[in-house]
Structure 1
Amino acid sequence: MKIVNPVLPGFNADPSIIRVDDTYYIANSTFEWFPGVRLHESKDLVHWNLLPSPLSTTELLDMKGNPASGGIWAPDLSYADGKFWLVYTDVKVTEGAFKDMTNYLTTAENIKGPWSKPIKLNGVGFDASLFHDQNDKKYLIQQTWDHREYHHPFDGITLTELNTDTMKLMPETARTIYTGTKVKLVEGPHLYQKDGHYFLFAAQGGTVFTHQEVVARSESLDANSFVTEPGDVFLTNFDTPDLGIQKQGHGALVSTPGGEWYYASLSARPWNHENESAYDPRGWSTLGRETSIQKVEWDEEDWPRIVGGHGGRVEVEAPKDAIETKAPADHSRHDEFDNADLDLDWNTLRVPFSESMGSYGDGKLKLIGKGSLASNFDVSMIASRWQAFNFDAETKVKFNPFSYQQMAGLTNFYNDKHWSWVFITFDENKGRVIEVGENNRGNYTSYLKDDAIKIPDGTEYVYFRTKVRKQSYSYEYSFDGNNWTEIPVTLDAVVLSDDYVLQTYGGFFTGAFVGLAAVDYSGYEEPAEFDYFDYKELD
C-alpha cells in the first residue's frame, strides 16, 4: 500500500498523531467550527475514518462571539495510564498585540468518549501539548506569547510540570527550553523520548509557504538545553515549489508496532490561475491546510530525517505491518436528514446545533432564520468542508419570506468576511426571487439585482446546486429537480482561500465550506425547510 498525500483532504490542520496498540488516531484543529477537535482513526496510515468529535458540549467548549479563526488551535492527543488525554486551546483574540486564550485538559477511557469535565490549565501560549515522561512526571509544553511591542511575540517554548495529584500546573517549574532559530515564529511543540534523549519537534516560519519543522535534542529538560538538529531542516517546502504538497511543518511523530517511524504534518495544495506564476504567488489554498504523512528514518547520529529529503513526497511507503482499513473511496455523501443526530461531517459556527437554530429528522432540516452570515453570534447554518477541488453540491429548500431581510439557500463559506450564496428572498416588485450574493473582504455584492429570478407562483420548493471547479465556481437553480438553469455569475474561488484571506486578515486558518443557511435579520425568525443535501466529488 501507498500513503497518498494528503491523507486527510480539506481543512484538517495541525495534526496530533498517536498510536494505541495497532490503531492510529489523528486530532486536528477546528478553530471557530463546532464541535471542537476533529478525530480520525486508521490501522494502516492510508485509509482514515471520521470519529465523533470530543468537544461536543458547551461545558467543554463555549465559543460564542469568538472571532474567525479563533477557537480551537492545535489540540494535542496523547495516551497514558490507560486513557486518552486531550489538551486544547480556546483562542478569544486573534488580531493585534494580544492572544487571549485558555488551555484546557480533558480525558476519556474511550476515544469516542465520554470526555471529562475540562480542567483549566493556563493561558501562557497556544499549541500546548502534554508530555508523559518515563519517570511518571507530566509536563505541558507550549508556545509562549509576548504582547510587548519591543519583543518578538513568539517567546520560545515553555515547559511546565503538571501536578498529577491536583491536576494543576506548577508555574514555579516553568522554564524556556528552546527559542528556535533565526527563522523565528517557533510554535507547535511536541516532546518525545528515544534512546536516552529528549527530542523536541517544533514548527517555525509561520503556517504559510515559508513554514518548516525543526527538531532539537537534549539529555535533560533543563532551561535552554536543547540543541537544533544540524544540517538540513527536518521538513519544509519553502525550496520545493514544484512539489504537489506545500506548507508542510507543524505536526507530530509516531512509531509503528514494527518500529518504523512516520510524521504527520499540515500541508496545502495551492493552485494558480493560468495567467499567474506558480512561484510568486505560490498559489491559492481553497481546501485549507490538510494533513499529510511522511516516513522518517534516523541517521547515524540518531537524528530524524524525512525519507526522500526535507520536502517529503506525495506518495509514501505504508508501514510493513499495516492492517488494511476499510474507508469510503472519497467523501461524496447524501443526507436525507432522517437520523436523530446530524451526520459527523456537519459543523456549525461557534455553538452546537440547538432548538433555537432549528431541528432535523424525519427527512427534513429546519433552519430558523437568524443573523446574517457576517455575524459572529447567532448564525443558522450547517456546513461541511470542501474536500475536493471539483464537486457538485445540491439541496432542495422551501422558504416563504415576506421581507428582503429574509434569505435562505446554499452557501460557499470561508469566514464572516468571505462567502457567497444562492438564496430565496423577497423583492417588493416581484415577490419571491432568487439572488446570488458575495461577501468579499466584508464588501457585499448582489449580482442579479433587478434581474433577480422570479419564483413562479405556486412553486413550493426550489432546488439549488453549486458547481465548484477548482479556480472558480457557479450556482444553478431548478423548479422541478430535473431541469437546471445556470445563473450567469462565475465567482473566483481565490476569495475562499487561506492565502487570499491572509492578505487582509491574520485569521486565515480554516478553509472553504459548503453549507445550508437561513437568515432573518429582521428578527421575525422566518424558518426554511431543506429536504436533502448531496455532495458529489468529481476529482
Structure 2
Amino acid sequence: MAMPQLTNPILPGFNADPSILRVGEDYYIATSTFEWYPGVQIHHSKDLANWDLVTRPLSRKSQLDMRGNPDSCGVWAPCLTHDGEKFWLVYTDVKRKDGSFKDAHNYIVTADKIEGPWSDPYYINSSGFDPSLFHDDDGKKWFVNMLWDHRRRPKAFAGIRLQEWDAKTGKLVGKRETVFFGSELDLVEGPHLYKRNGYYYLLTAEGGTGYTHACTLARSKDIWGPYEMHPETHVLTAKDNIHAAIQRSGHGDIVDTPDGKTYLVHLMGRPTTQFRRCVLGRECGIQEAYWKDDWMYVKNGPVPSLHVEVAGTRDVEKYWAEQKYTFDKELHKDFQWLRTPEPERIFALQEGKLTLFGRESIGSWFEQALVARRQTHFSYDAETVVDFSPEDERQFAGLTAYYCRFNFFYLTVSGTEDGKRELLLLTSEVSFPHGDLELPLAAPIQIPNEGKVKLALSIRGAKLQYYYALEGEELKKIGPVYDASILCDECGGHRNEGSFTGAFVGMAASDLNGTVLPAKFDYFLYRPEHEETDRYEIHSQ
C-alpha cells in the first residue's frame, strides 16, 4: 500500500540549512535564523509531514547578541544532535561575511530536554562556519567545520576540518586536519558526519546557495580519510535541470525512521517571476533515499522531487488557516525581532496591545523596533490597527513587508514639521540594492491628529498593494502596486548569492528624535490566499 504523498517544502518560508534528528519516535529539525532573534528554530514532528515550532533555544544575551551584525549574518547552519543523554546544538554567529574575511564564531549549547533550558555556550573556534558535532560509537566527539582561508583567490573555501572535542574540558584537543576538499563544484561547506556498516560518511553542501547548490557525499573506513567520492558525486541537486519545480537544492542532513527508511532533508527554493526570484526564501524540503552497495541515493534523484511519500498525512487546512494574533499574554511564537537580546527595549505587551518603543530607523543593524512573522504563502493579506501620535517626520510607525535594510515596503503613520499626522509610504523598490528610499516619496495623505488607523496590505504573487482606513471607515487603496518579488535573496543587496533569509511581514516603529515614542497595535492578521499562479503551493493530494 502506497504511503501518503506530501508536497515540498515541509517547512515553508524562510527555514534554511536544516539539521534533522530522531530521538525515539520524535523528529526534530533545527534551521538557521541569521539576524532574527531568538536564534535557531527547532520544529518537532511525529510523522515527517506535520511540524510544529517547539523552541528557539538561543534566547538570552549570554548565548547570542547580534547587535551590529550585518544583514544575512548572525546564526548560520545549526547542527542538532543527541548522544543518548542530552541534546547538543552547534551554531555559528557571523559578525562579518562580505569581503575577504569571515568573522564567524562557533559555539555549542546543550539541554536535557528539547524545550530547554539550554546552557550557556562553549566557545569552540572561529576558523570557519557551518560546524557540526559527531558522536562516535566509542564515546569520542568530533567537531567538523569548513575552513575559511582569506589568502585564497577567488574563493576562500579551503575544505572540511576535523578535530576531537573534549566534553569534559569544553575544548578542542589533539590534531586538527583537513579531511575533505570537495568536488570540482567547489565551495564545500555544511558538513555532517555519520557512521554506518563500518563506513564514515561525510555529507557536504557545495556550489554556493543559489542555482548550482548541491549535496555531495563521500565515505571512508577511517574518520581521517581518505574519503572516496560517491559514484554520482552529488546525491541531490537541481543545477542541471532549470525546469525542476524545486531549485537551489543542497545543504542536507540524513535521518532514519524506526522502520528502516532513510530520508534527506535539504535547503530548497521555489522560484517565481521571469527573474527566478524565490520570494519565500530558502525553505526546508525532504526526499526519500535508499542504500545500495553502501551508498545512499535519493529516490528519483539527484533532482529533488516536489511530491514525496512519508508516513504521515499533512494537515492542509492548518497550512491555509487565517491567523489573527492578539497580544493579551505573550508574543506568539510565529513572531521574531531583529538582533537584540534585550526585547524589553523595543516592545512590550501592555493592556492587550503590542507596544513598540520607537528606536532606530527601519533597517538598522543595532536596535530597531520591528516585530514580524515569516511570509509562508505566495499570496496573502495582512492587517493591523495602530495608535500612534507622532510630533514630526522623524517619528513613524506602521506595517512593513520586509526582507532587509536593502529592500522593504513600509506604510507609516508619521508627522509633518508642524505636527500634523499623515500616512507616508517608505519603500526601497526602485533603489535596491542600495537601500535608499525611493525618491520622490509617494504623496502623503493627511489624517486626523487623533484616532487609530487600520493598515493593510495584499500580496498576490509579485504584486503588493497597501490599504488604510480611519475609524469607522472601509479600507481604501494607498500608493501604487509595488513589485513584491524584490523581497527575496536574489535582491538582498549583496553580491551574487550573498543574501540568505526570507520575506517577513509585521509591525515597526521608529523615533529618530530619541524620545522612544510608543506605537500601540491592537492585533495582527495574516490571511493566506489561493491563487492560480501559485504553482507550487501546498494542496491536498
TM-score (norm 1): 0.94
Could you tell me which of 531, 536, 539 is aligned with 2:527? 536
Alignment partner of 1:488: what SS? strand
CA distance in 2, matches of 1:200, 1:213: 10
Could you tell me which of 198, 201, 211 is aligned with 1:199? 201
CA distance in 2, matches of 1:82, 1:327: 37
Could you tell me which of 423, 438, 442 is aligned with 1:445? 438
CA distance in 2, matches of 1:476, 1:297: 51
User: Are 1:385 and 2:386 matched, yes or no?
Assistant: no
Give the total of aligned pairs: 523
| 1:410–1:422 Cα contact (<8 Å) kept | yes
Could you tell me which of 120, 133, 156 is aligned with 1:153? 156
| 2:214–2:236 Cα contact (<8 Å) kept | yes
Structure 2 match to 1:164? 167
Please state how far the C-alpha of 1:336 moved relative to its aligned partner: 1.4
Alignment partner of 1:66: what SS? coil
Structure 1 match to 2:304? 312
CA distance in 2, matches of 1:387, 1:326: 13
Change (3 A) 1:87 1:32: same
Structure 1 match to 2:226? 225
CA distance in 1, matches of 2:460, 2:440: 20
CA distance in 2, matches of 1:189, 1:290: 19
Structure 2 match to 1:363? 352
Please state how far the C-alpha of 1:70 moved relative to its aligned partner: 0.8
Q: Deviations over 1:342-400 (max 9, x none)?
A: 11111110013533213114310111111101311120110111110100010000111
Could you tell me which of 476, 479, 488 is aligned with 2:479? 488
User: Where does the alignment leave 5 or more consecutive residues of structure 2 unmatched?
Assistant: 531-541
User: Are 1:455 and 2:447 matched, yes or no?
Assistant: yes
Alignment partner of 2:243: what SS? coil
Aligned partner of 2:242: which letter?
P
Structure 1 match to 2:268? 267
Could you tell me which of 12, 16, 27 is aligned with 1:13? 16
CA distance in 2, matches of 1:325, 1:399: 39
Aligned partner of 2:181: which letter?
T
Change (3 A) 1:326 1:311: closer
CA distance in 2, matches of 1:465, 1:324: 30
User: Are 1:53 and 2:56 matched, yes or no?
Assistant: yes
TM-score (norm 2): 0.93
Structure 2 match to 1:173? 175
CA distance in 1, matches of 2:418, 2:228: 72
Alignment partner of 1:355: what SS? helix
| 1:331–1:387 Cα contact (<8 Å) kept | no
User: Are 1:297 and 2:286 matched, yes or no?
Assistant: no
Aligned partner of 1:205: which letter?
G
CA distance in 1, matches of 2:473, 2:247: 41
Change (3 A) 1:473 1:194: same
| 1:43–1:324 Cα contact (<8 Å) kept | no
CA distance in 1, matches of 2:151, 2:298: 37
User: Are 1:400 and 2:389 matched, yes or no?
Assistant: yes
| 1:7–1:48 Cα contact (<8 Å) kept | yes
Could you tell me which of 48, 52, 66 is aligned with 1:63? 66
| 1:436–1:447 Cα contact (<8 Å) kept | no
Structure 2 match to 1:343? 332
User: Are 1:119 and 2:112 matched, yes or no?
Assistant: no
Please state how far the C-alpha of 1:328 moved relative to its aligned partner: 2.9
CA distance in 2, matches of 1:407, 1:126: 38
Alignment partner of 1:36: what SS? coil
| 2:6–2:314 Cα contact (<8 Å) kept | no
Please state how far the C-alpha of 1:326 moved relative to its aligned partner: 10
Please state how far the C-alpha of 1:503 moved relative to its aligned partner: 5.9
Please state how far the C-alpha of 1:199 moved relative to its aligned partner: 0.6
Please state how far the C-alpha of 1:238 moved relative to its aligned partner: 1.0
Q: Deviations over 1:153-186 (max 9, x none)?
A: 101001110113212111x421111100111000
Aligned partner of 1:31: which letter?
F
CA distance in 1, matches of 2:479, 2:168: 65
User: Are 1:287 and 2:317 matched, yes or no?
Assistant: no
Structure 2 match to 1:434? 423
Structure 2 match to 1:419? 408
Aligned partner of 2:100: which letter?
A
CA distance in 1, matches of 2:264, 2:495: 32
CA RMSD of aligned residues (A): 1.8
CA distance in 2, matches of 1:434, 1:502: 27
Structure 2 match to 1:527? 518
